[in-house]
């Protein structure tokens, strides 16, 4: 099992592994239509960086992971969901804490495995 998913599962944190769409813009006129089409194909999330991260990792022979914190659930209003983050007591802040802990523990295990 992938170390990040393993850490999340051990802590009982909800998580998913799968396809991420990396794109170049938000808030385009047909954004909802585009998101719906990719969702039907099994894409779980979208961001700007994941594709570049994995491409550079592959080219340089570096193990790579991308942990996304879902700040806006499908069908929710982006402005309200992101605005809620500023309070610091939302599911977004909790998700961010968990993704950081997941990444640190996964790296610790990875480098520990290399030294054995």
pLDDT digits (tens, 9 = 90+) for 51-105: 999 999 999 999 999 999 877 766 676 666 666 655 555 777 888 899 999 999 9
Q: Which helix (H) or strand (E) holds 19?
A: strand 19-22
**Cα→Cα distances 57→10, 25, 44, 112, Å:** 26, 23, 21, 20
pTM: 0.76
Q: What's the confidence (pLDDT) of residue 98?
A: 94
What band does 45 get if pLDDT is binned at 50, 70 and 90? Answer: confident
21 neighbors 43 (Cβ within 8 angstroms): yes
Q: What's the confidence (pLDDT) of residue 66?
A: 94
- Count CB neighbours of 74 within 10 A: 10
Residue position matching structure tokens 């992938």: 2
95 neighbors 70 (Cβ within 8 angstroms): yes
Is residue 1 over pLDDT 90?
A: no
What band does 13 get if pLDDT is binned at 50, 70 and 90? Answer: very high
Mean model confidence pLDDT for the chain = 85
């Amino acid at each position: 099992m992938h170390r990040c998913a393993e850490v999340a599962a051990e802590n009982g944190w909800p998580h998913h592994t799968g396809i991420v769409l990396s794109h170049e813009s938000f808030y385009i006129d047909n954004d909802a239509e585009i998101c719906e089409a990719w969702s039907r194909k099994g894409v779980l999330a979208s961001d700007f960086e994941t594709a570049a991260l994995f491409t550079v990792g592959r080219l340089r022979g570096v193990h790579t992971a991308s942990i996304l914190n879902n700040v806006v659930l499908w069908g929710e209003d982006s402005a309200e969901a992101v605005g809620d983050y500023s309070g610091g007591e939302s599911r977004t802040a909790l998700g961010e804490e968990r993704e950081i802990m997941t990444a640190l523990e996964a790296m610790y295990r990875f480098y520990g495995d290399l030294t054995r």
